Amino acid sequence: MALEKFLTEGGKEFLPNLSVDIVIIGYQQQTLKCLLARIGSKWMLPGGFVGYNESVDTAVARVMKQRTGLEDPHLRFLAVFGEGNRNFAMQWKAYIEKEGVPWQEDSWINSRFVTLAYYSLVDMAHAQPEKGAIDEAIGWFPLDNLPSMWMDHAAIATRAREQLKTDIRREHVTHNLLPEPFTMPELHQLHQTILEEKLDRSRFQKKMLATGLLERLPKRQKDSPGRNPYQYQLKEGG
């Protein structure tokens, strides 16, 4: 049974008291989405642990590939969550006993854990979500309306939501959420969704073009009359 193996062998394979969690963010129908995995009755962020001979960066990239199938994705360190009382043994115990697996008080999972949290912006069309070893389901949820979650994972997701607002005011990273090529109206709406505020369209376009990162392509072909905006993509090496 995967759960029994996780409990008995995980402590031999991974560094004690350290985990990684990733807020994987997508965008669909003018809504930010977050990829979550379900264990029991609640959901959690895709995450994992760091092998004894593995770097943290390698561990995070491994978790991303396992859960999304993406190679070399956008990844950004978010924060360390390491409160002195960050111990979720009672939550694990209730779930494990409900699954009919004996609980051991000296289990490696029954400890305080520090987690290194990251966030990732992905094009949902390219992601192929996969369950982890003990996950029962995996799926996308609106980032602003998350289901009941394990541990402090809702707080981590909220922190990533706020950090994204800050980051897009300083640098151009939102192209990771859109399939290329994209139009300026699509990019404009994405920024409005993230910032939760109205942005002047003309001023926004001038600001984006001033970055020098976008390459203009021919206009998008349309089957119906109306506005026919140019398409853009990120310049090579941008």
Residue 190 covered by a domain: yes
- Predicted confidence at residue 48, as pLDDT, reads 93
Distance of CA 93 to the CA centre of its chain: 26
CA distances from 3 to 109, 132, 178, 224 (A): 12, 11, 37, 54
Confidence (pTM): 0.92
Q: Do residue 144 and residue 193 come from a single domain?
A: no
- The full DSSP string for 176-224 is GGSPSSEEHHHHHHHHHHHHTS---HHHHHHHHHHTS-EEEEEEPP-SS
Residue 150 covered by a domain: yes
Domain end residue (candidates: 115, 139, 169): 169
Do the beta carbons of residue 42 and residue 4 sit within 8 Å? no
Domain end residue (candidates: 112, 135, 169): 169
Specify the 3-state DSSP secondary structure of 88.
coil
- Predicted confidence at residue 32, as pLDDT, reads 98
Residue 102 covered by a domain: yes
Q: Do residue 165 and residue 193 come from a single domain?
A: no
Distance of CA 130 to the CA centre of its chain: 13
Do the beta carbons of residue 185 and residue 229 sit within 8 Å? yes
In order along the chain (238 residues), what is the average pLDDT of each group of 10 residues?
Answer: 78 90 97 96 94 95 96 95 90 87 85 96 96 92 96 97 95 92 95 98 95 87 67 83
CA distances from 13 to 30, 50, 54, 195, 217 (A): 41, 8, 10, 41, 50
Q: Do residue 188 and residue 154 come from a single domain?
A: no
- Predicted confidence at residue 195, as pLDDT, reads 97
Q: Structural domain of residue 221, as residue ranges?
A: 180-234
Q: Do residue 151 and residue 61 come from a single domain?
A: yes
- Predicted confidence at residue 173, as pLDDT, reads 93
- Predicted confidence at residue 222, as pLDDT, reads 62
Tokens of 78: 């978010």
Q: Do residue 139 and residue 211 come from a single domain?
A: no
- Predicted confidence at residue 98, as pLDDT, reads 87
Residue 174 covered by a domain: no
What's the chain's Rg over C-alpha atoms? Answer: 20
CA distance linking residue 174 with residue 168, whole number of Å? 7
Q: Do residue 125 and residue 206 come from a single domain?
A: no
129-158 residue pLDDT tens: 999 888 999 999 999 999 999 999 999 999
Q: Do residue 124 and residue 18 come from a single domain?
A: yes
Q: What angle do CA 63, 146, 125 make, to 5 degrees?
A: 55
Question: Within a 13 Å sphere around the CA of 123, how many CA atoms are in the beta-carbon half?
Answer: 12
Residue 23 covered by a domain: yes
Q: Do residue 10 and residue 68 come from a single domain?
A: yes
Residue 175 covered by a domain: no
Q: Do residue 164 and residue 185 come from a single domain?
A: no
Per the structure, the count of domains in the chain is 2
CA distance linking residue 111 with residue 143, whole number of Å? 29
Residue 59 covered by a domain: yes
Domain end residue (candidates: 116, 136, 169): 169
Distance of CA 26 to the CA centre of its chain: 8
Q: Do residue 136 and residue 20 come from a single domain?
A: yes
Q: Do residue 138 and residue 211 come from a single domain?
A: no
What CATH number corresponds to the domain at position 7?
3.90.79.10
Q: Do residue 138 and residue 187 come from a single domain?
A: no
Residue 37 covered by a domain: yes
